[in-house]
Amino acid sequence: MRLLKYQGPKTAIDAVIIDENETVVLIRRRNPPYQNHWALPGGFVELEEKVEDAVIREAKEETGLDIKIVKLVGVYSDPNRDPRGHVISITYLCKRTDRAENPHGGDDAKEAKVFNRRDLEKIQLAFDHKLIIQDAFKLADQGKLW
Protein backbone atom coordinates (compact mmCIF):
# COMPACT_ATOMS: atom_id res chain seq x y z
CA MET A 1 0.00 0.00 0.00
CA ARG A 2 1.30 3.43 -0.96
CA LEU A 3 0.99 6.21 1.62
CA LEU A 4 0.21 9.71 0.45
CA LYS A 5 1.82 12.70 2.09
CA TYR A 6 -0.85 15.06 3.45
CA GLN A 7 -0.45 18.59 2.13
CA GLY A 8 -3.02 20.59 4.06
CA PRO A 9 -2.99 24.23 5.11
CA LYS A 10 -0.63 25.66 7.71
CA THR A 11 -2.00 26.80 11.08
CA ALA A 12 -1.35 30.30 12.42
CA ILE A 13 -2.63 32.37 15.31
CA ASP A 14 -3.22 36.10 15.72
CA ALA A 15 -3.69 38.15 18.89
CA VAL A 16 -6.09 41.10 18.89
CA ILE A 17 -4.86 42.91 22.00
CA ILE A 18 -7.45 45.56 22.83
CA ASP A 19 -8.54 47.37 25.96
CA GLU A 20 -11.38 49.41 27.38
CA ASN A 21 -9.89 52.57 25.84
CA GLU A 22 -10.57 51.10 22.39
CA THR A 23 -6.94 50.71 21.43
CA VAL A 24 -5.27 47.81 19.63
CA VAL A 25 -1.62 46.72 19.57
CA LEU A 26 -0.14 46.29 16.10
CA ILE A 27 3.31 45.33 14.87
CA ARG A 28 5.18 46.54 11.78
CA ARG A 29 6.24 43.45 9.84
CA ARG A 30 9.98 42.98 9.40
CA ASN A 31 9.74 40.36 6.62
CA PRO A 32 7.70 39.64 3.50
CA PRO A 33 4.92 39.22 2.75
CA TYR A 34 3.59 42.64 3.61
CA GLN A 35 6.98 43.84 4.78
CA ASN A 36 6.67 47.20 6.65
CA HIS A 37 2.87 46.92 6.84
CA TRP A 38 1.07 46.99 10.17
CA ALA A 39 -0.38 43.69 11.34
CA LEU A 40 -1.66 41.84 14.35
CA PRO A 41 0.96 40.05 16.41
CA GLY A 42 0.93 36.40 15.44
CA GLY A 43 2.60 33.60 13.60
CA PHE A 44 2.69 29.90 12.95
CA VAL A 45 1.85 27.28 15.53
CA GLU A 46 4.87 25.10 16.29
CA LEU A 47 4.78 21.31 16.19
CA GLU A 48 3.16 19.89 19.37
CA GLU A 49 2.18 23.39 20.59
CA LYS A 50 -1.35 24.28 21.66
CA VAL A 51 -2.81 27.26 19.80
CA GLU A 52 -3.50 29.03 23.10
CA ASP A 53 0.18 28.73 24.04
CA ALA A 54 1.23 29.87 20.56
CA VAL A 55 -0.76 33.11 20.73
CA ILE A 56 0.72 33.98 24.14
CA ARG A 57 4.24 33.14 22.89
CA GLU A 58 3.95 35.12 19.65
CA ALA A 59 2.51 38.18 21.42
CA LYS A 60 5.44 38.16 23.86
CA GLU A 61 8.04 37.64 21.12
CA GLU A 62 6.68 40.37 18.83
CA THR A 63 5.47 43.00 21.33
CA GLY A 64 7.20 42.24 24.64
CA LEU A 65 3.75 42.13 26.28
CA ASP A 66 2.28 39.49 28.54
CA ILE A 67 -1.31 38.79 27.58
CA LYS A 68 -4.34 36.86 28.72
CA ILE A 69 -6.79 35.26 26.28
CA VAL A 70 -10.30 36.64 26.72
CA LYS A 71 -12.22 34.92 23.95
CA LEU A 72 -11.95 33.30 20.53
CA VAL A 73 -12.64 35.87 17.79
CA GLY A 74 -12.82 33.37 14.96
CA VAL A 75 -11.13 31.10 12.47
CA TYR A 76 -10.10 32.72 9.19
CA SER A 77 -9.59 30.18 6.44
CA ASP A 78 -9.84 31.89 3.04
CA PRO A 79 -7.26 30.02 0.94
CA ASN A 80 -6.17 33.36 -0.56
CA ARG A 81 -5.68 35.27 2.72
CA ASP A 82 -1.89 34.74 2.67
CA PRO A 83 0.25 35.00 -0.49
CA ARG A 84 2.57 32.25 0.84
CA GLY A 85 -0.18 29.66 0.53
CA HIS A 86 -3.21 28.37 2.38
CA VAL A 87 -2.89 29.48 6.01
CA ILE A 88 -5.70 29.15 8.54
CA SER A 89 -5.56 31.68 11.38
CA ILE A 90 -7.14 31.03 14.76
CA THR A 91 -7.62 34.47 16.26
CA TYR A 92 -8.05 35.44 19.90
CA LEU A 93 -9.27 38.56 21.64
CA CYS A 94 -6.66 39.27 24.30
CA LYS A 95 -5.87 41.81 26.97
CA ARG A 96 -2.62 42.93 28.47
CA THR A 97 -1.82 41.64 31.93
CA ASP A 98 0.68 44.40 32.70
CA ARG A 99 -0.57 47.87 31.77
CA ALA A 100 2.74 49.49 32.75
CA GLU A 101 4.66 47.76 29.98
CA ASN A 102 4.90 49.54 26.62
CA PRO A 103 4.92 47.39 23.49
CA HIS A 104 8.17 47.15 21.57
CA GLY A 105 9.06 45.23 18.44
CA GLY A 106 10.95 41.96 18.62
CA ASP A 107 11.45 38.79 16.60
CA ASP A 108 9.59 39.28 13.28
CA ALA A 109 8.35 42.76 14.24
CA LYS A 110 10.28 45.94 13.44
CA GLU A 111 8.21 47.82 15.98
CA ALA A 112 5.04 47.53 18.01
CA LYS A 113 2.64 50.35 18.71
CA VAL A 114 -0.76 51.04 20.23
CA PHE A 115 -3.35 52.49 17.85
CA ASN A 116 -6.69 54.08 18.67
CA ARG A 117 -9.70 52.35 17.15
CA ARG A 118 -10.78 55.45 15.21
CA ASP A 119 -7.34 55.74 13.56
CA LEU A 120 -7.37 52.22 12.10
CA GLU A 121 -9.19 53.29 8.92
CA LYS A 122 -6.12 55.33 7.93
CA ILE A 123 -3.70 52.42 8.30
CA GLN A 124 -2.92 49.88 5.59
CA LEU A 125 -3.02 46.49 7.29
CA ALA A 126 -1.52 43.18 6.19
CA PHE A 127 -3.49 40.07 5.25
CA ASP A 128 -7.16 40.19 6.34
CA HIS A 129 -6.33 41.86 9.64
CA LYS A 130 -8.72 44.78 9.13
CA LEU A 131 -11.62 42.31 9.02
CA ILE A 132 -10.29 40.43 12.06
CA ILE A 133 -9.96 43.65 14.09
CA GLN A 134 -13.48 44.72 13.12
CA ASP A 135 -14.82 41.32 14.23
CA ALA A 136 -12.92 41.57 17.52
CA PHE A 137 -14.28 45.03 18.34
CA LYS A 138 -17.82 43.85 17.52
CA LEU A 139 -17.33 40.96 19.91
CA ALA A 140 -15.92 43.25 22.60
CA ASP A 141 -18.75 45.77 22.13
CA GLN A 142 -21.44 43.08 22.35
CA GLY A 143 -19.94 41.22 25.27
CA LYS A 144 -19.11 44.18 27.48
CA LEU A 145 -15.85 42.41 28.27
CA TRP A 146 -14.30 45.29 30.18
Nearest-5° Cα angle at 124, 123 to 128? 120
Secondary structure class of 145 (helix, strand, coil) = coil
Q: How many CB atoms lie within 10 A of CB 79?
A: 10
Q: How far apart are CA 53 and CA 135, in angstroms?
A: 22
111 belongs to the catalytic site: yes
Catalytic residue (one of 46, 62, 101, 111): 111
* 3-state helix/strand/coil string of 27-94: EEECCCCCCCCEECCEEECCCCCCHHHHHHHHHHHHHCCCEEEEEEEEEECCCCCCCCCCEEEEEEEE
Q: List, by residue number, the catalytic residues.
A: 111
